[in-house]
A and B are shown apart, each in its own frame.
Chain A
């Protein structure tokens, strides 16, 4: 029963994405990092290859694939550019609430159109005043006849400037805390929505990150996903599904950092020999290998659990996977820069970008500290 191999299809998928990354992403990654420009053409290509929206069920014309396929895709994309990985992955994040909590009619109306053109969606949970404490969000949705009127602001919204649809979490009553949260699907062109500037970030610079402000935005009640008060649960179940692919992106980034550092250490000579001969370098490489392999296994296990219906256990494992993958990738990237020495600190070499990009994985979709809180809570609950 225990089996560590990918299926033939998953291997074909991996090889296809790897080729795309080598031919199209790696040659362009530094350019987009430097300019911060949105890689629209590459995202369109990823869509054409079917790498986006893969979770939309077959009965709606989608592929109905699971987390494991997302993990395979994310690791390969992450090995090329985490900024592009994030931009490509966000549709899944924004559409999962609809797939998890929506009616068939809502899936048909809001999610299915993403299969016929390379449109983007954005997931709006975080606010200026609520990050790790997502349940304290204060964007307000007031009932007015058959509409909600929404007021508030959302922060660090990925793809906001290019999205045609927002999945927005709001509260109907702050006193109810998380039980007062609802999930609304709001088309981007709805009057009252305004976007902040493209944030000038340390890493993942080509991913589009903005504030989204909602002022008296009227949203039909039919756009509410799930029941009153189910919004927070839908958000958490969504993040349980996307956390693992995010972790896998970090595994890919760490894998690249290790490969670059390994190759460089065999070429770079000091004291009359390749620096790969020195134990100080070997130990750094060996630790990278151990961490990459173990993080990948955690990703696969978490994905497998969720794909096989063990959602709660899968959610716990996704926290293990993301905590480990994000932190180890940061260490791997930092050590890759260390192995390159002064050269690694310049933009002439690819490792400093990985270091800047991967830092974000310790922060977004639940910081490494929040993952530890989730893990500890699970351990201590009985």
Chain B
């Protein structure tokens, strides 16, 4: 089975984000990059699916500048068989990223496509939907369990919403499955894996190679703004009865949680 895993390299969550002077991007010079954590779940699910089926290949794909090869090598060090890099130096919008990924999925004859439910940098949660639409494949998001049938023609997916509500969805394959936290615990890369990943040849495409040379992004980012500074906490004073009364009032009237 041809299992594809789509991943995105994102700034480390502990990195301090700064915005470029033209406000069209973030400063990337000193950033530490990681694999989008939801995509790590997708890698693990790809590997697990292969292990459960006892056959198949796991191919990881990313769209991005040269630095993103590092994310692909990490995925190979975790156990992925192949890696594909769509090399672009400029930022593409979701539409063009999905177009590029769709071409790769077609070339590779993807039978199931895993990705994270969203990337933690821009939180768009859009790529998997665009991709499914472009490929005319079904898509399921918020997957916390995914069983591929023995004949590999369908998958049964357990979907869990934020409220904890669950539903079971059966889909034909190929399909795009967007996974969320709880589906698995991603394995660590291994030292032998790192040694293997170093030697792994990474297939590289340009946008033109994928027949998209005349395409341009349909949206542009124009005005990044940092979130407002968080207001300081409130300190309650007075005797214990006053404090409790005030706390209950605040929880009810300001925080509106009780």
Q: Is the CB of A9 within 8 A of B194?
A: yes
Shortest CB distance A19–B (Å):
7
Which residues of chain B come closer than 8 Å to A49, judged between CB atoms?
188-191
Count, A-B residue pairs, CB within 8 A = 39
Which residues of chain B come closer than 8 Å to A19, judged between CB atoms? 188
Please provide the chain B residues from 188 to 222 with a CB less than 8 Å away from any CB of chain A in the complex: 188-195, 197-198
Q: Are B74 and A12 in contact (CB under 8 A)?
A: yes
Residues of A within 8 A of B194 (CB): 9, 12-13, 16
Given A12-B73, A16-B77 in contact, is the A50-B198 Cβ separation under 8 Å? Answer: no
Q: How large is the interface on A (under 10, 10 to 19, 20 to 34, 35 or more residues)?
A: 10 to 19
Contact of B198 with A63 in the complex, beta carbons under 8 Å: no
Neighbour of B188 across the interface among A16, A54, A65, A69, CB < 8 A: A16
| Shortest CB distance A268–B (Å) | 19
- How far is A49 from B188 in the complex, measured between Cα atoms in Å? 7
Give the distance in Å from the alpha carbon of A51 to the alpha carbon of B191 in the complex: 7
A59 CB to nearest B CB, Å? 15
* A8 CB–B CB distance under 8 Å: yes
| Residues of chain A within 8 A of B195, CB atoms compared | 9, 63
Report which residue of B190, B197, B198 has the largest number of chain A beta carbons within 10 angstroms of its beta carbon: B190
In the assembled complex, the CB of B65 is this many whole angstroms from the nearest CB of chain A, namely 17
Residues on the B chain within 8 Å of A48, using CB: 187-188, 190
Asked if A260 is an interface residue, CB under 8 A from chain B, the answer is no
Query: Which residues of A sit under 8 angstroms from B191, Cβ to Cβ?
Result: 13, 16, 49-51, 54, 63, 65, 69
Q: Is the CB of B198 within 8 A of A8?
A: yes
Interface of chain B residues 90 through 118 with chain A (CB within 8 A): none
Residues of B within 8 A of A69 (CB): 191
Give complex CA distance A51, B190 in Å: 8
Of all chain B residues, the one with the shortest Cβ separation from A24 is B188
Whether, in the assembled complex, A110 has its beta carbon less than 8 Å from a beta carbon of chain B, the answer is no
The contact string, 1 if C-beta is below 8 Å from chain B, for chain A 226-242, is: 00000000000000000
Would A63 and B192 count as touching, CB distance under 8 A? yes
Which A residue's beta carbon lies closest to that of B185? A23
Taking the closest CB of chain A, its distance from the CB of B47, in whole angstroms, is 13
Q: Is A269 positioned at the interface, with any CB of B under 8 Å from its CB? A: no
Interface residues of B in 140-155 (CB under 8 A from A): none
Neighbouring B residues of A8 by C-beta, 8 Å: 198
**What is the chain B residue whose CB lies nearest that of A48?**
B190
Interface string of A42-86 (1 = CB under 8 A from B): 000100111100100000000101000100000000000000000
Q: Is the CB of A12 within 8 A of B192?
A: no
Cβ contacts under 8 Å, B189 to chain A: 12, 16, 49
A54 and B191 alpha carbons, distance in the complex (Å): 9
Q: What does the 1/0 interface line of A6-46 toward B look like (CB < 8 Å)? A: 00110011001001100000000000000000000000010
Which residues of B from 172 to 197 have beta carbons under 8 Å from A? 187-195, 197
Shortest Cβ gap from B125 to chain A (Å): 25
Give the complex CA separation of A12 and B198 in angstroms.
10
The interface residues of chain B lying within 8 Å CB-to-CB of A51 are 191
When distances are taken between beta carbons in the complex, the residues of chain B under 8 Å from A16 are 77, 188-191, 194
B192 CB contacts on chain A under 8 angstroms: 50, 63
Bound together, the chains give a CA A271 to CA B191 distance in angstroms of 49
CA distance A8 to B189 in the complex (A): 14
B185 vs chain A, min Cβ distance (A): 10
Asked if A50 contacts B74 (CB within 8 A), the reply is: no
Q: Which residues of A contact B198 (CB under 8 A)?
A: 8-9
Enumerate chain B residues within 8 angstroms of A12, measured Cβ to Cβ: 73-74, 77, 189, 194, 197
B224 to chain A, nearest CB (A): 28
Compute how far the CA of A50 lies from the CA of B190 in the bound complex, rounded to whole angstroms: 6
Q: How far is the CA of A45 from the CA of B186 in the complex (A)?
A: 13
User: Which B63-100 residues have C-beta < 8 A from chain A?
Assistant: 73-74, 77
Which residues 27-74 in B have Cβ within 8 Å of A in the complex?
A: 73-74
Most buried by A among B77, B188, B190, B197: B188
Assembly CA distance A69 to B192 (angstroms): 12
**Least Cβ–Cβ distance between A22 and chain B, in angstroms:** 10
Give, as a whole number of angstroms, the nearest-CB distance from A94 to chain B: 19
Which residues from A are CB-within-8-Å of B197? 12
Give A43 Cβ to nearest chain B Cβ, in Å: 14
Q: Give A49 to B194 CA distance when docked, in angstroms.
A: 10
Cα(A9)–Cα(B200), bound, Å: 13
Task: Give the shortest distance, in Å, between A259 (CB) and chain B (any CB).
Answer: 13
Shortest A256–chain B CB gap in Å is 16
Q: Which 5 A-B pairs have the closest CB atoms?
A: A50-B191, A50-B190, A12-B194, A16-B189, A49-B190
Q: Please, could you name 29 A-B residue pairs with CB atoms under 8 Å apart, sorted by A?
A: A8-B198, A12-B73, A12-B74, A12-B77, A12-B189, A12-B194, A12-B197, A13-B191, A13-B194, A16-B188, A16-B190, A16-B194, A19-B188, A20-B188, A45-B188, A48-B187, A48-B188, A48-B190, A49-B188, A49-B189, A49-B191, A50-B190, A50-B191, A50-B192, A51-B191, A54-B191, A63-B191, A63-B195, A69-B191
With A13-B191, A16-B189 already in contact, 20 other A-B pairs whose C-beta atoms are closer than 8 Å = A8-B198, A9-B195, A12-B73, A12-B74, A12-B77, A12-B194, A12-B197, A13-B194, A19-B188, A45-B188, A49-B188, A49-B189, A49-B190, A49-B191, A50-B191, A50-B193, A63-B192, A63-B195, A65-B191, A69-B191
